[in-house]
Structure 1
Amino acid sequence: MNEKKAASQTPAPGSRRILFAGCLAHLTHDGLTDMLYVFFPVWQQLFSLNFSDVGLFKTLFSGSLAAFQMPAGALGNRFGLVRSLTAGTLLTCLALTAASFTRFVPLFAVLLIVGGMGSSAQHPLASAAVSRAFGGASSRNALSTYNFVGDLGKLAFPAMAALIIARTDWETAIRVMAAVGIASAVLVAAMLAGQAQAAPSLSSGQAATARLGFAMTKAFGALTAIGVLDSATRMGFLTFLPFVLKDKGADMSVIGLALALL
């Protein structure tokens, strides 16, 4: 029994490389998502948007990101984790790049939806890769590192985007950050090459759980509620914070710094 327990807590071969790749994917996607807060004041002026329109823009990206996470997990099982994660990252970066070339609001909105769909692949696939590579207490430590690095992306990408906007324009900023995302996708794919492409087989006792992909327990429900409240509060605050700062005379670099600190 002790030997089995120890074996289950032993990291898989190449686990450090998998953790690094998962962290890089998390940093990139969370960074690309949060950097959009910097662009909202620019887009409001460019497209003559009101605050409800800005909120809709945010909802289009974040809503598609949330809605497609479970389908993204299923695609990962069918087509492989590496392919699906790489394709999702590239899709997000290409959608953001394409958005920098259009002034047609409906097309811009569609590209935000497509970008969110691409970003939906990261959480279910990268976190699954990390959790499978580690076991027991090692898994908790690895996932803590994974989550922490994602927060670093939320810090770095908005600040970088704001600095580029302050020195050039928003189109250049979003293209540069998308290029960073593409480079990240290539690196993640290289590090995860050769990893298992399908989910491990399930026992008959796991069949009910497999239909949803998780066990519906009270603890899970409580954590889900906390996550919903946290995300709703944070997104609403950060979406409109740049406008408040701009009205108080803050320039783009200050707005980027404020978002990075939060």
Structure 2
Amino acid sequence: MSEVGKRGSSRRKGDEYQDNIALRLALKAYIDRKPFDMFLEYEKSGNLDDIVMFQGSDISAYQVKYAINSLENYDTADLLDPESPVSFKKFAASWQIMKQRFPERNLTVCLCSNRGLSSALLDLVDVEGRFSCEVIEERRRGEAKKLRSELASISGLETDSFTEFLRNFKFVLRQPTLSEIEQYIRTVLLDKELGLSDDSIFLDLKNAIKNNAIFSREAITTQTIDNLLERLQSQLLTPQVFPVDRECKMKCVSYR
């Protein structure tokens, strides 16, 4: 579904969308009880700084992009233009930084958006959003072979490194719209999975994510979510006080 907004509202909604994606990832990991360390606006990963999630030996680095019109598609020009926000050159450079810092980790680079892919790019990926084995191993011909060669050239990577980079890349596209993802967090993750139906809990969690992205270099963890939910629930469980009419006297009746 397409969302219509004012011109210039994309950046503001983009930040909010990124916060919602981060909250969804954190709550899913929390519900599954999978320990994690999530960094927002991570300063040690180049352009892959929106969301970086460490889980065991795995690292998932997300670049989150939001489109006012969710019917838009990424085309080959978006990946090949070195000045584009989703330039393959920028992704490859950031991937190199992360691989050098964490050589023993399994790294996945994710382009996450409510956009889709053009038919030319869609032809290169599998149902999970990863480049197909035929593309990675350079077994495709025609336009697919030509596009792979152009992506390799713009990436600036050596042959073996580019092949590994393709294996590590994932398109996480056609994500829900801003309103749809908020509804999912409220009704499915908080209400159904955690039994937390009060709307103020969602708003407070979302605000905590926003504040972390702006002000903190600390990771969001399972314990962080535990502490937040415990504090928010304790605020909601305030004792009820009933007024008493001190002038009213009760007459005791004896049944002897």
The normalised TM-score by structure 1 is: 0.26
Higher strand share: 2
The normalised TM-score by structure 2 is: 0.26
Higher helix share: 1
